[in-house]
Amino acid sequence: MNRRRFTKQVLAGAAGLTIANPGLANIILTQQKTQLGVALVGLGYYSTDLLAPALQQTKNCHLAGIVTGTPAKAEKWKRDHNLSDKNIYDYKNFDSIVNNPAIDVVYIVLPPSLHAEYVIRAANAGKHVWCEKPMAITVAECQQMIDACKKNNVTLSIGYRMHHEPNTKQIIKYRKELTFGSVVKVEAAAGYFDSRTDHWKQKKSLGGGAMYDMGVYPLNATRYSTGLEPIAVTARASTTRPAIYKEVEETMQFELEFPGGITAICETSFGKNMNDLQVTCSKGWYKLSPFQSYSGINGITSDGKKLNATIPNQQARQMDDDALSIINRTPMLVPGEEGLKDIHVVEAIYRSVAEKKKVEIR
């Protein structure tokens, strides 16, 4: 059977499945595409100012739809991005996305407390899922998300864009190849001064707090810098603005212990600007500063090598990489399991704060 005839038969079969199993039909149709349609769920700053422009630069995917609870936003996005009415959803009719073959991927860009619900709903609709960090609030939620995607035979990727960034990939290569010897110590800090006084990042019920939002950057960096999972943590939470940060921490300091005596000293905050990663090894060191900004990642090694490779757009690279993995049916660079491992440590960090002592991470 030639390829053209085979493709026609597959598409015909998928059309028949639309009535019996729309989710399965979505998966079959996606496998025939060379460019995937992406729907953004949540149209805040990250979607509006970063993801939508990035999707104008991608090769393997494009902006196909949106999900928003604000009619005025829907109308503006419809005009600005030439979106069809049938590809615009709200949170009430979101599940009907199962019947839309133009949308292959749903990108969840909501407050963390909503990640699990919408990842699971998207997976049940037979859509591949990309989810912003942090993956979820609890390990249990993370596992439910992974299970839902596996059950529906769709992929799940977490939006850790630094894994796709060339300078970050270079320091991971240094670790793997022992270019500067074995890792001894990691120092990582990420934060900014947030002047807002009423935002979801300051609300516990929505998954706010510096640790969930910015803290996963230094945490994840310690893991990809060492290639290991931490075995213990000592943490301390604090705030300089208790009237604003009543429910969650403004700053979190945490020290991780890894197998082999490796240590990591980390800090994250909404009260001060920080953006540094330094890895000390047995035969030298290397550092990135900034290590997690949206552009301009720069660094240097102990022997004077500059780390300043550039790419046009980090978010575009991330989404193109993930789309290509779906199209080629290859493993995701940052699967759900990676996000779960971070939340496993985050839970231990909060236990350490509550118990005011070092806790083991099992």
Over the range 176-187, which residues count as b (16 or more CB within 10 Å of their CB) and which as e? eeebbeebbbbb
Return d(Cα 76, Cα 46) in angstroms, integer. 16
Other beta carbons within 10 angstroms of residue 238's beta carbon come to 15
Residue 16 CB burial class (10 angstroms; 0-12, 13-18, ≥19): exposed
Question: What letter does residue 179 receive in the DSSP assignment?
Answer: B
Q: Which of 89, 127, 133, 224 is catalytic?
A: 133
Question: What letter does residue 111 receive in the DSSP assignment?
Answer: -
Q: Outline where 31-158 has alpha helix (H).
A: 45, 52-54, 71-81, 115-124, 139-151
Q: Which of 108, 106, 164, 155 is nearest to 329 (CA)?
A: 155
Over the range 118-157, which residues count as b (16 or more CB within 10 Å of their CB) and which as e? bbbbbbbbbbbbbbbbbbbbebebbbbbbebbeebebbbb
Q: Which of 107, 160, 212, 217 is catalytic?
A: 217
Q: What is the CA radius of gyration of the chain?
A: 21
Looking from the CA of 332 toward its CB, the CA atoms found within 13 Å total 25
Other beta carbons within 10 angstroms of residue 82's beta carbon come to 8
The letter for the amino acid at 181 is: G
Residue 11 CB burial class (10 angstroms; 0-12, 13-18, ≥19): middle
Residue 219 CB burial class (10 angstroms; 0-12, 13-18, ≥19): buried
Active site residue 133: yes
Return d(Cα 201, Cα 40) in angstroms, integer. 20
Known catalytic residues?
A: 133, 217
